[in-house]
Structure 1
Amino acid sequence: MQRIPLFNPFQAWSALALKTGEMLVASAEVIRHRSARLAAAGPLPNVRDRREFNLMGQEKIDAAAASAFAAGMRLMAINQQIGTMVLKQLISGAGSAFALAMQPALALSGQRQAALLRTAMLNSGTLASKLGNSAAQVAQHALRPIHAAATGNAKRLRKL
């Protein structure tokens, strides 16, 4: 899966939608193939069919476990990144507020207020963009194992 640029939530969500679409098409192909195989096998499937039917369940469990693990790992990393950003913003704001409180002149105080507000607004926008992008990244990491299983099965079953 390609790397998503920082601070571009639209591109991150669009890439997720594309991968989801690919996975859905592959899943439909796999379901069609396996349903036909189940119907053809009847009540007494042969060894090859039984092996394939057992594989169906195990693949779902493995993909779901890998997906949950990937999402959890990404969430932990994002939690640390966002915590760091919030702490930086807090320290920056506290320093600016302290400088504002220590201004002796009213004219300088107005300039400091404008600078404090500008910094707070810019930092808040950056943090909001990061949050939107982070949610898409968690979803992409969670989708990756399921996408790989579905597309891999579709390729494998085309050969049968």
Structure 2
Amino acid sequence: MTQFDKAIKTGRRLTRDGARAANTALSGGEMLKAAGDVINARLEIMAAGMVDPRKADLKEISLMSSEKVEALSASASAMAKTFGDIGGRLGSGVMTEAGHASKAAASIAAAATPAAAMQAQYSYAVGWWSRAAAQMLTLNSAMLKGQADAMRPIHKTAVDNAKRLKKST
């Protein structure tokens, strides 16, 4: 792959990451509005139940906890998967980099001249910088995806509840 191809690939990844971050921010705003609407509707349901306990919507009141537990459990599961994937990727990266460092050390030690040793060291340093930048971009992408995956079940629950409660009023 040429440097130009790498630049295009990196540009596409950055564009995807930017779009993912923007979509997650929009979803977050939508989720917060929906949560406010749900809280308002449920406070009215609870107030009506306090005025006349016979008219209390026990089904809706019971959903308040179970839905949160389900959504938060799904969110935590998504984050655990993300962190597990990232941990595996980091471990693999460490092993790969140790191999590169070992080869560089052997090249430096086998160099016939001080200039050749410096060239080998320089080549390793430039390669390391490129690999480190690529790994950081990959980790950033994984974190953005993890954030979106973790927010998805909470967002869905809040938005679905807001729609359902809006229809029932």
Task: Report if TM-score (shorter chain) is over 0.5.
Answer: yes
State, as a whole percentage, how many aligned pairs show the same letter: 28
Shift in Å at residue 132 of structure 1?
A: 3.0
Which one has a larger percent helix, Structure 1 or Structure 2? 2
CA contact (8 A) 1:67 1:143 kept: yes
Residue in 2 that maps onto 1:87: 95
Shift in Å at residue 6 of structure 1?
A: 4.7
CA contact (8 A) 2:82 2:146 kept: yes
RMSD (CA atoms) = 2.2
In structure 1, stretches of 5+ residues that fail to align are none
Of 144, 159, 162, 1:151 maps to 159
Shift in Å at residue 45 of structure 1?
A: 4.4
Shift in Å at residue 37 of structure 1?
A: 1.9
Residue in 2 that maps onto 1:63: 71
Residue 119 (1) aligns with residue 127 (2): yes
Aligned partner of residue 112 in structure 2, secondary structure: coil
Of 136, 140, 147, 2:148 maps to 140
- Which aligned pairs between 1:1-160 and structure 2 lie closer than 5 A? 6=13, 10-43=18-51, 44-46=53-55, 49-160=57-168
- Measured against aligned partners, the alpha-carbon deviations of 1:98-127 in whole angstroms (never above 9, x if no partner) come to 112111123322321221110111112222
Deviation larger for 14-23 or 55-64: 14-23
Partner Cα distance (1:105, 1:11) in 2: 50
CA contact (8 A) 1:97 1:116 kept: no
| Structure 1 moving runs of 4+ over 3 Å | 5-15
Partner Cα distance (2:36, 2:156) in 1: 14
Quick one: which amino acid aligns to residue 41 of structure 1? Answer: G
Quick one: which amino acid aligns to residue 55 of structure 2? Answer: N
Shift in Å at residue 56 of structure 1?
A: 1.3
Quick one: which amino acid aligns to residue 46 of structure 1? Answer: K
Aligned length: 155
Q: Which has the higher contact order (CA 8 A, sep 6+)?
A: 1
Quick one: which amino acid aligns to residue 159 of structure 1? Answer: K
Structure 2 length-normalised TM? 0.79
In structure 2, stretches of 5+ residues that fail to align are 1-11
CA contact (8 A) 1:9 1:129 kept: no
